[in-house]
Copies of this chain bind each other. A is one copy, B any other.
């Protein structure tokens, strides 16, 4: 029978840390944390009452669920070694762009538990409002994972590997690239002796706005107004920072292309 029993976390990075905290808080025992970096394993394990290990041969073999949050290429390289002798447990990874089939031929019960969120160790995130996307190699384990993940988050959905990859790519644009634009704005203000905090009401409203309006309808600014005088003023101001100048120009033209409907079809 499917039992949740205990969990082993493989990885101690941003995602594993957030999952570890939440599992611990929900009373789901994490018995072991594995990380190739001993200090990382210890730091997380100490906070959630788990054992820390950093050598594969010390990995426990009695857990019900193994959650693997490793860099994609490490997961692919080490899958055989980590699963060997533990084929009957449920193996899930948390990567957006690694297909579920990475487990095929190694584990017999496997899947994916993908949290669509940005995690940093310096900031704890309430996982209960984070959408979790699950997939498994059997209907039973899909159901099990749905229910099990339901203990962590109110928002659990099924997504196959293709959908998950699309989610991940969208998240890179809507989060990682967005944050980089915040970083550019921060640098630009700092160069002019202005505090980044000034922008926070604007950043907040920009995010809130797309709860109510589709992003295309929410678009404002010089590009969508075709205000070429302001665009040119800004490009001139960026003269000494050619990367940002090119980025400004490309994003402005792209906004205009989308506004004029030129970006609705792929080129082939």
Number of copies: 2
A residues with CB within 8 A of B: 14, 71-73, 95-97, 116-120, 122-123, 125, 129-131, 155, 157, 159, 162-163, 165-189, 191-194, 196, 198-207, 209-225, 227, 229-230, 233-234, 237-238, 240-243, 246-248, 250-251, 254-255, 257-258, 263, 266-268
How many angstroms between the C-alpha atoms of A167 and B258 in the bound complex? 25
List the B side residues contacting A234 at CB < 8 Å. Answer: 97, 168-169, 172
Can you name the residue of chain B whose Cβ is closest to the Cβ of A188?
B170
Q: Is the interface of A mostly helix, strand, loop or mixed?
A: helix
Contact, CB under 8 Å: A205 / B174: no
Contact, CB under 8 Å: B174 / A206: yes
Contact, CB under 8 Å: B196 / A215: yes
Are A182 and B174 CB-contacts (below 8 A) given A116-B201, A117-B202? yes
Contact, CB under 8 Å: B215 / A186: yes
Contact, CB under 8 Å: B97 / A233: yes
Can you name the residue of chain B whose Cβ is closest to the Cβ of A268?
B240
List the B side residues contacting A209 at CB < 8 Å. Answer: 118, 120, 123, 179
Can you name the residue of chain B whose Cβ is closest to the Cβ of A125?
B205
Can you name the residue of chain B whose Cβ is closest to the Cβ of A73?
B229
List the B side residues contacting A207 at CB < 8 Å. Answer: 203-204, 206-207
Are A172 and B242 CB-contacts (below 8 A) given A181-B178, A207-B206? no
Contact, CB under 8 Å: A175 / B117: no
List the B side residues contacting A72 at CB < 8 Å. Answer: 227, 229-230
Can you name the residue of chain B whose Cβ is closest to the Cβ of A231?
B172
Name the contact of A192 in the complex, choosing from B163, B199, B243 (C-beta under 8 A): B163
Contact, CB under 8 Å: A233 / B165: yes
Other A-B pairs, 16, CB within 8 Å; known A117-B202, A166-B237: A71-B225, A71-B227, A96-B230, A116-B198, A116-B199, A118-B221, A166-B192, A174-B206, A175-B202, A175-B203, A178-B181, A178-B203, A180-B254, A200-B210, A200-B211, A207-B207
